[in-house]
Amino acid sequence: MQSSAATLRRMRSLPDQRLIEGALEQLALFRELGAQRTAAAAKQCCVMSGRRGEVLARRGSRLPGIFVVAYGIVKLALRGQDGDERVLRLVSSGQGFGEATALLGERSRYEASALADCKLVMVPSSVLWKLLETEPRFARRMMLVLGGRALEMMDEVEAATLQRGSQRLARYLQSLGASSPTPGAVRLPVSKTLVAARLGVKKETLSRLLHQLAAEGVIRVERRDVKILDAARLRSAAGEAEAPPAKEALAATS
């Protein structure tokens, strides 16, 4: 799978206009922008397609804008010098990535690669800046997206530094259950190896952790399907939540 020949140069702006508009309309960022302006912006975007396994953007590269997944799945991952990787996020259709680096003009922190054949829409930074200037609602959305990313990453830091693998796994299963049509029966969205990379452990460790939870009767695992047999104990394995809000009060003058 030596896909090094594939870079982001394979772009075309063709009658993909439809595809681009569709992708942008799905994106939270563009939600409040009218169909008019969305279509106008779409004219300045371009499409890139990637094959399964292909590297779409390398770490350290400067990306010309943000990317929206029209279809397929893209993996955003950090990689260490010995080749092992830590998955940051799996981006599926209707979601985007690269906002922070595009706006700050910084180099990409992660590597983006296609987990399945996909098409991406690239919205050039210049288009973004134009919209941000002229459309306060778009700017508002952008701030929500950026703030959300910051909080997500903060959660990742917390998970990585002061939770152990079993805890991260438990929370991950909980979150899958929460966003599942049938809580209690979840399906891993990707291979266990990738789930492990997402959780910041090796695949061997994930295997053992799953086995352990299964042995305790908390879950039952069959290939990619996980049945949650004891939600209460899964919750306690996740570390349990904290107390309700507490309006901290402090000496406030003026």
Interface contacts to DNA, rule CB under 7 A? 1, 82, 84, 164-166, 191-194, 200-211, 221, 224
From residue 232, give the alpha-carbon distance in Å to each of 173, 193, 218: 13, 27, 9
- CA-wise closest residue to 75 among 60, 90, 96: 90
* Residue 32 binds its own copies, judged by CB under 8 A: no
Q: Name the residue nearer to DNA (CB basis): 73 or 209.
A: 209
From 21-29, 136-144, 203-211, 218-226, give the range in contact with its own copies by CB under 8 A: 136-144
From 1-9, 16-24, 26-34, 226-234, give the range in contact with its own copies by CB under 8 A: 16-24
The interface with its own copies within residues 61-80 (CB under 8 A) comprises 61-62, 78-80
- CA-wise closest residue to 32 among 134, 135, 183, 104: 135
User: Which H helix or E strand runs over 167?
Assistant: helix 165-178
Judged by beta carbon distances under 5 to 8 A according to partner kind, the member of its own copies, DNA, none in contact with residue 193 is: DNA
CA 87 – CA 68 distance, rounded (Å):
18
Nearest approach, Cβ of 72 to its own copies (angstroms)?
Answer: 13
Q: Are 46 and 122 in contact (CB under 8 A)?
A: yes
Among 12, 31, 136, 187, binds its own copies (CB under 8 A): 136
- CA-wise closest residue to 41 among 132, 120, 118, 107: 132
Among 12, 34, 35, 106, binds its own copies (CB under 8 A): 106
